[in-house]
Amino acid sequence: MLKQGLQQKQLQKLSPQQIQFIKLLQLNAVDLQQRIDNELIENPALLKGDDEDAAPKEQVENEVEIAEGTEAEANVSVEDYLADDTFDVKEYVNDDYDSEGFHLSDEGNDEDRKDIPFAETASFHDSLLEQFIAIAINEREEMIGRQIIGTIDDDGYLRRELDAIINDLAFGQNVEATIDEMQVCLHKIQSLDPAGIAATSLQDCLLLQLKRKNHDRNEVVLAEHIIRNDFEDFIKKHYDKLTKQYKITEADLKLAITVITHLNPKPGESASAGKPQFINPDFVLVDNDGNLEVQLTARNAPDLRISRNYMETLKGYDANPNPSKELKQTVQFIKQKLDSARWFIDSIRQRQHTLLITMNAILHHQYEYFLEGDETKMKPMILKDIAEKVGLDISTISRVANSKYVQTDFGVIPLKFFFSEGITNDEGEEVSSREVKKILKDAIEAEDKHKPLPDERLMDILKEKGYNIARRTVAKYREQLNIPVARLRKEI
């Protein structure tokens, strides 16, 4: 039975300005630049600091004087204007921004804040298509080739069945292709560069590359036989079985394995491997007379101003005793754009402040690490530790740490790197798990690859150094370091 009734609830809602700040906070340096570019395009009241129509910086610090002799208060919110039906909420806050693209623009003069350039890489699909068009015998084959190339994953593999691609062609291009036509096109694509492209499995990928090798070399012929006929034994490193199977010495097998290990398991990534890819850091660590300090990079500290012309228009409206209807509508529009620009500038400043206090807290917590870059000097640190230091919510710290980087003398490091769990050693001191991982990694790098250390032995090594850690924890840390088990680390 349905019933109607009234119920009063007290709800806490984020204002559009708060939502805008949250969205800006989680952006990295490159995405922020794209967001600012979009805002500059959409809001004519917002200008760069070097624009001749921009208001002086001191004037931007003050609130915008609006029509009818009133002033906008410092804590003015969007809701204050919603009662006016002539206002369009979308003009105030537009959160429909694409954060996926990257765009470079002028960053102003800032010799002390040097950004690492961001390299734009071309799609290897375009390169494949260009090669295929040159060898396609007719337009029909070109259409089939386009469909297959478009289905190839970013790592270079074709994981979709040819029958499914035939259906895609029929529904999308109205082309009814046969399986024989698909096979012909696929073989042509697999002959393109880079070698191993459009493979259906890792085994297929390695075989495609081995076919292009010089088969006058015995180790190449042996490598192809092993991958084609004994792939499972190879990946499981059953070397004794392989030497007996092919009646060869360990030296012969080692030469064949060397050929295989120099192949590319992800040929799609090789298309952009020749082009350097860089990360734009959000912070720069500088040494100021022996004291480490954090600075925001130029992208994170843009100089934004409010349009002087728009402000002068509002002043002219105040001086007009009998404004027309058209002038009133114009002023309403200008008020919206000025307020939107002011809110955006305030959000950018709030973002800068939050980034700096958070990064400074991380710097002070991990100061010994930042001095030398020694991972064994890192202290255990979780989001809650920094949140308590700066007086912000854990979710805010998480947004700051996400996809942000700091440039140091020993590399560009993601902020997430500095957060780790704590472990108590035999002396009762709490140390970072990264310190344990560093010791674990060093032990594995120094091991005899003919007899790699099992997890039990690694556990004993850590215990000898004062870290009482269970074998399953050793296995967990080893997996986090992307290090395989001892059996798969064995070499001959």
Please say whether the beta carbons of 282 and 404 come within 8 A.
Answer: yes
Q: Are residues 140 and 58 in the same domain?
A: no
160 or 76: which leads in pLDDT: 160
CB atoms within 10 A of CB 422: 14
What's at 343, amino acid-wise?
Answer: W
Give 353's contacts (C-beta < 8 A, 6+ positions apart).
none
In a domain, 101, yes or no: no
Average the pLDDT over 438-447 and give the result: 89
Split into its structural domains, the chain has a count of 3
Q: Please say which residue of 419, 443, 472 terminates a domain.
A: 419
In a domain, 357, yes or no: yes
Indicate the range of 115-129, 163-177, 182-196 predicted with least confidence. 115-129
DSSP 384-417: HHHHHHHT--HHHHHHHHTT-EEEETTEEEEGGG
Q: Please say which residue of 238, 270, 302 terminates a domain.
A: 270
Q: Are residues 234 and 161 in the same domain?
A: yes
In a domain, 145, yes or no: yes
Task: With a cut of 60, say whether residue 69 has pLDDT above it.
Answer: no
- Torsion of Cα atoms, 471 then 430 then 292 then 405, to 10°: 40
pLDDT of residue 303: 84
Q: Are residues 196 and 239 in the same domain?
A: yes
Question: By percentage, how much of the chain surpasses pLDDT 90?
Answer: 31
Distance, in Å, from the CA atom of 14 to the CA atom of 413, rounded to the nearest integer, reads 33
Average the pLDDT over 389-396 and give the result: 91
Q: Are residues 241 and 304 in the same domain?
A: no
In a domain, 6, yes or no: no
In a domain, 1, yes or no: no
Q: Are residues 289 and 407 in the same domain?
A: yes
H or E element at residue 309: helix 308-319
Task: With a cut of 70, say whether residue 27 has pLDDT above it.
Answer: yes
Distance, in Å, from the CA atom of 22 to the CA atom of 347, rounded to the nearest integer, reads 9
Q: Are residues 129 and 199 in the same domain?
A: yes
Q: Are residues 130 and 266 in the same domain?
A: yes
pLDDT of residue 268: 85
pLDDT of residue 115: 42
Count of H helices and E strands in the chain?
A: 24, 8
Average the pLDDT over 127-140 and give the result: 92
pLDDT of residue 181: 94
Q: Are residues 306 and 352 in the same domain?
A: yes
Task: With a cut of 80, say whether residue 483 has pLDDT above it.
Answer: yes
Q: Are residues 376 and 486 in the same domain?
A: no
Q: Are residues 288 and 413 in the same domain?
A: yes
Average the pLDDT over 291-301 and give the result: 86
Task: With a cut of 90, say whether residue 280 has pLDDT above it.
Answer: no
Q: Are residues 156 and 260 in the same domain?
A: yes
Average the pLDDT over 141-153 and give the result: 93
Please say whether the beta carbons of 465 and 423 come within 8 A.
Answer: no
CATH of the domain at 430: 1.10.10.60
DSSP 109-150: --TTSPPPPPPP---HHHHHHHHHHHH-SSHHHHHHHHHHHH
- Torsion of Cα atoms, 138 then 143 then 144 then 149, to 10°: 120
In a domain, 289, yes or no: yes
Task: With a cut of 90, say whether residue 138 has pLDDT above it.
Answer: yes
The boundaries of the domain holding residue 453 are 422-492
Task: With a cut of 90, say whether residue 355 has pLDDT above it.
Answer: yes
In a domain, 312, yes or no: yes
In a domain, 100, yes or no: no
Token code pair at residue 50: 């070097």
Q: Please say which residue of 270, 302, 323 terminates a domain.
A: 270
Single out the residue of 2, 8, 7, 38 nearest to residue 20, CA to CA: 38
Please say whether the beta carbons of 386 and 365 come within 8 A.
Answer: yes
Q: Are residues 293 and 207 in the same domain?
A: no
Q: How far is CA 392 from the centre of its chain?
A: 24
